[in-house]
Amino acid sequence: MCAHELRHWLRSPQIHTFPYDHVRSHYHEVGKHFVDEEMLRLLEQARTLLPTIPGPWPLVQTLAAFLDTALDKQDGTYDYTSYIGLPLLQVPTVDDPVAQAPFARTRCDRVGAQLLADVLAFELKATEAGATLLPAMRPEPELVTKRYKHGLRALRPKLQRMNLKHVLTASSPAELARQASDAVLVDRSEVERLTIELSVLPVYTAHDEYMFLRVLQSFETTFALLTVQLRAVIEALAGRDVERAVHFLNESSTALGESAPLFSMLATMQVESFRTFREFTEGASAIQSHNYKIVESLCRVPDSERRDSAAYLSVPAVRQRVLDGQYTLDEAHREIATSGDVDAAGLERIRDAMSSFAHTLLRWRNTHYRLAVRMLGEATGTGYTEGTPYLNAVREIPVFHTVSDESATDERTAKLS
């Protein structure tokens, strides 16, 4: 354990010299669940000193977020958000000004591309002789090739929008993965590099947990984008701006649809590996995903039974927004449909775009359900629900009341590739 560097830093703490590499290496060597007591004690000291250390705000914020994430198990604050290091990623939030909605996708493309490029680089590195990072339960080469392919499928639309797609010239999946990850990773700012690197602290040393974390973070980046875009839709409907409402609904459908290959990528996770590291993730479940529930509750007011169940009791801040009367897309749609301000063609365009978004969200829920069944079998979930029966029950909850989800039944049978 390299506590020496940390002790040395504590004698003369400066924001630019924090020994991130040493601390991270120790966490990766043993897994967050097994971190040395001495290391935890020194990190606590570092956190106590933090308010007295001057420096540029992005670097101070990064160190603060890293220390909170690294110490979550010790602090008793360990949960889904801290497990996936979300505060480090600085994705947009639902409270950002709606005027920023057009830029949210650019930001999320960057973060999403960097997350995927990083996991591809990790998989490539692990195939090299002498690779030491997370050595337990390495996957077979065929499985890794599938990961490259699905990862690239998720990455391609982002590369296209970032004007980087031309770098993909190779023919083998491994070489394509290398080209994509090199192109994205070389284009990062220093703070972006740091935050992406620090945001993976697996609880154990199993290889597959790295991909698990990156996939969760990638989905969260998409949910964050949807929270901003759905608010823009609601505002546009209130302002009778059909074009803008349809635009952001379509953008949201596209973003969610583009994330689908991430499920295929995650389906290459080895079940034994998942069951091994899952022993140490107790208390962290995506039922605590703030952004997912914001998305759901921005679409329409959740039924009181669901609002008062684990689904919303696991995200108290979102539940409070609901209780405070958060205005929803469904309400805005009902209002515009009865206002007489918009002609029939305009209303139909809105309905079609809502229906298409609902369809994509139902598909997401069904794919998620099938993946959970594959990975968990009969085991219960980590979010204190009964596990897959919970997901089975919630997957057909209507996304909107004012627009029907006729496609729900078709979606139940859609395949997980």
Q: How far is CA 104 from CA 193, 218, 293, 344, 391, in A?
A: 19, 14, 19, 31, 29
Is the CB of 21 or the CB of 386 nearer to ligand HEM? 386
- Tokens coding 280: 């140490």
Using rule CB under 6 A, residue 70 touches ligand HEM:
no
Half-sphere exposure of 133 (CA within 13 A, CB side): 19
What residues numbered 217-276 form the site for ligand HEM, per CB under 6 A?
219-220, 266, 274
Q: Which stretch binds ligand HEM (CB under 6 A): 26-34, 135-143, 235-243, 380-388?
A: 380-388
Nearer to ligand HEM, 111 or 372 (CB): 372
By CB under 6 A, how many residues form the interface with ligand HEM? Answer: 26
Q: Which is nearer to ligand HEM, 221 or 402 (CB)?
A: 221
According to DSSP, the residues that pair with 136 across neighbouring strands are 206
Nearer to ligand HEM, 218 or 253 (CB): 218
Nearest Cα residue to 262 out of 223, 295, 293: 223
Nearer to ligand HEM, 190 or 378 (CB): 378
The one-character DSSP state at 326 is -
Instruction: Name the minimum Å distance from CB 292 to ligand HEM.
Output: 4
Please choose, out of 2-10, 120-128, 322-330, 378-386, the segment that lies near ligand HEM by the rule CB under 6 A.
378-386
Q: How far is the CB of 123 from ligand HEM (least distance, A)?
A: 17
Specify the long-range contacts of residues 7-15, CB closer than 8 Å, at least 24 apart.
Answer: 7/42, 9/46, 10/42, 10/45, 10/46, 10/49, 13/46, 13/49, 13/53, 14/53, 14/55, 15/53, 15/54, 15/55, 15/56, 15/59, 15/60, 15/63
Q: How far apart are CA 417 and CA 367, in angstroms?
A: 10
Nearer to ligand HEM among residue 6 and residue 111 (C-beta): 111
Residue nearest to ligand HEM (CB): 381
The binding track of 342-371 with respect to ligand HEM, each residue x by CB under 6 A or -, is --------------------------x--x
Residues 6+ apart with CB under 8 A from 179: 167, 168, 169, 170
Secondary structure of the chain: what % helix, strand, coil (to 5)?
70, 0, 30
Nearer to ligand HEM by Cβ, of 44 and 79: the residue is 79
Taking the C-alpha atoms of residue 127 and residue 172, their distance in angstroms, rounded to an integer, is: 15
Name the amino acid, one letter, at 166.
H
Minimum CB–partner distance for residue 331 and ligand HEM (Å): 21
**Least distance in Å: CB of 56 to ligand HEM?**
31
Helices 57-70 and 20-30: crossing angle in degrees, nearest 10, is: 20
Decide whether 148 or 277 has the Cβ nearer to ligand HEM. 277
Q: Under the criterion CB under 6 A, does residue 391 sit at the interface with ligand HEM?
A: yes
Q: Which stretch binds ligand HEM (CB under 6 A): 64-72, 147-155, 345-353, 389-397?
A: 389-397
Instruction: Provide the CA 75 distance to its chain's centre, in angstroms.
Output: 23
Q: Which is nearer to ligand HEM, 249 or 311 (CB)?
A: 311
How much is the CA Rg of the chain, to the nearest whole Å?
22
Taking the least distance from each CB to ligand HEM, the nearer of 151 and 387 is: 387
**Shortest Å distance, C-beta 99 to ligand HEM:** 27
Distance CA 151, CA 176 (A): 11
91 binds ligand HEM (CB under 6 A): no
State the nearest-atom distance from the C-beta of 303 to ligand HEM, in Å.
12
Specify whether the CB–CB gap between 286 and 390 falls below 8 A: no
| Contact positions with ligand HEM (CB under 6 A) in 393-412 | 394
Q: Which of residues 278-317 bind ligand HEM (CB under 6 A)?
A: 285-287, 289, 292, 311
Binding site for ligand HEM (CB under 6 A): 215-216, 219-220, 266, 274, 285-287, 289, 292, 311, 368, 371-372, 375-376, 381-383, 385, 387-388, 390-391, 394
